[in-house]
Structure 1
């Protein structure tokens, strides 16, 4: 049995980690930290866990965390994880960081986030479908939610060096903004509305670029615009992929089938994916249509931003790092309708 610690457990990501780990046959939550809520019951904040998680928030020092835990999930704001991770990393404890601190090369991180990196190191990017080396690692950086859906949508064509340019258009539920309320998530502003934001310079764009250029170093024309929609969960990404030459439906299907045939959480759909089909699950559903007149492939991906886009993918990484089947505790369908 794996003893699990969650640092920064009071937010949506922490609550989702605990919800999913309740169904994991080889893991139990030993520790949930929150400085602000120390001493309060976890279920008082995460009320959906009442009578299921019977622990209190704590604020132990790093040595105690290492002594009590086999795996530690770090779910703290960007710029904070780099102060915590070096204190808990050792040969015994496996660490999965869900912030942005270790996803990018240190110099790129400093440029994008405007923060000096206090622990510059190159860390494996925890997207299991593209990084088999995860199984050999003791510390990985969990991908962002937008990059997960977008990268998986374009990766097979990037690997085949068939992309001339790609424009990602993503729609996300309000939970992606985190548990703290804001003007963007305020009901009168959000209801019956769609809000584009950070039209050309979203912080997740360098993650797309880093991963797709790892597959095709010559791919430089990558664009992204996100929108908030009046939904709680989910990210639906439309990738307009302009290709080097005309591809048929069968050409595209062959590339996607080859890359994802043994990837249990990527489902190729005959039609357009929907958010309701993946809500609450760790699946990424992908569908596409070919536009031969414009050498364009329109690829749609759907994920739950809190599961495959965060906590579920983190547990998938934990499974792989700990030598378990990657589907352990995660093989559940979406909640539809």
Structure 2
């Protein structure tokens, strides 16, 4: 099946190329960029010297002539304009930006500070949390790929919220990410001299992933409406760790929680649950589509700690996008995604 990538020169776009280049069913036929059109992809990305594709302008009609699926690895605000054109052209869309994730246009305007996609476009978008929405993804025409932080957070909380076990006002999410999550555009905060040997909190109470997390948690457990969520920049290139604290309504042990998580995720190949007393680190999922989870309950406070780790560019972006494309195309979820994590 032929596919195209719009926004091929950003970190998520480059990760899509890496994954799709080894995919057994998808064939990259075109790469597109608004700023680098006319250059070959390997000119500024020599690790792709074996790929002889020129970056083309973004023309939905021309893309539709050659591709069945387009991946939009674009900045916020771009997909909202492009997606209706691809829908009209009959191309399936997997959108890696945040433009189609929030069902309420006013919420998008508030958190992203941009104009929202049309109601008609949003109505066609299916939230692509692969492990929990595969039935709807399979028949979709437009996929809103989840954000990186929401992916780790939601996979960690889902088993508890599905059972209505969480005290609704008790959820605190302490999230940390490598610098690649900030994108490829240079900025003061991502300079080596600013980031190295440093640790920063950012977007305090203002991160645009907050409403995405709350929207999905509310679908699972109706009395959850808000969460405490803050993010930190860690001096490493890739990786996300979310440490979530939540008070439970039920009296359970750590062993029972571990058994619950293992049962819930036993048929999901990309979620691995740690044994009791063990907790994941970011390095153990680097370069892979895995989400590893460890859980424990504090017997003194009756508060659960959930630790979830992902590679922000793979399971948090390009990997989950390919997983969703596999689902909507009828392929195995693991197609092209069986990479063993990079270590050390």
TM-score bracket relative to the smaller structure: over 0.9
Distance 1:152 1:312 in 2: 15
2:109 matched residue in structure 1: 110
Distance 2:196 2:259 in 1: 41
29-38 vs 310-319, which moves further: 29-38
Query: Deviation digits for residues 92-113 of structure 1, max 9, x if unmatched?
Result: 4211011111000123212222
Matches within 5 A, 1:155-234: 155-164=158-167, 165-234=170-239
- Which of 291, 310, 315 in structure 1 is aligned with 2:298? 291
Distance 1:190 1:43, change over 3 A: same
2:2 matched residue in structure 1: 3
1:22 matched residue in structure 2: 21
Distance 1:42 1:91, change over 3 A: closer
4+ residue segments displaced more than 3 Å: none
Distance 1:326 1:290, change over 3 A: same
- Unmatched segments (≥5 aa) in structure 1: none
Is the 1:91–1:138 Cα contact (8 Å) retained in structure 2?
Answer: no
- Which of 320, 324, 334 in structure 2 is aligned with 1:327? 334
Query: Deviation digits for residues 200-256 of structure 1, max 9, x if unmatched?
Result: 121101111011111001013411110000100000111112111432113212331
Is the 1:126–1:143 Cα contact (8 Å) retained in structure 2?
Answer: yes
Matches within 5 A, 1:63-78: 63-78=61-76
1:86 matched residue in structure 2: 84
Distance 1:332 1:60 in 2: 31
Shift of 1:76: 1.0
Is the 1:134–1:320 Cα contact (8 Å) retained in structure 2?
Answer: yes
CA RMSD of aligned residues (A): 1.3
Query: TM-score scaled to structure 2, two decimals?
Result: 0.94
Shift of 1:118: 4.0
Give secondary structure in 2 for the equivalent of 1:158: helix
Is the 2:111–2:207 Cα contact (8 Å) retained in structure 1?
Answer: no
Query: Deviation digits for residues 36-94 of structure 1, max 9, x if unmatched?
Result: 1111110112221112x110100152111111111100111101111111111148421
Distance 1:59 1:220 in 2: 42
Give secondary structure in 1 for the equivalent of 2:238: coil
Shift of 1:116: 2.7
- Which of 258, 266, 287 in structure 1 is aligned with 2:271? 266
Distance 2:226 2:183 in 1: 30
Distance 2:205 2:34 in 1: 36
Distance 1:12 1:200 in 2: 26
1:127 matched residue in structure 2: 129
Query: TM-score scaled to structure 1, two decimals?
Result: 0.96
Distance 1:320 1:245 in 2: 35
136-145 vs 215-224, which moves further: 215-224
Give secondary structure in 2 for the equivalent of 1:326: coil
322-331 vs 216-225, which moves further: 216-225
Is the 1:245–1:295 Cα contact (8 Å) retained in structure 2?
Answer: no
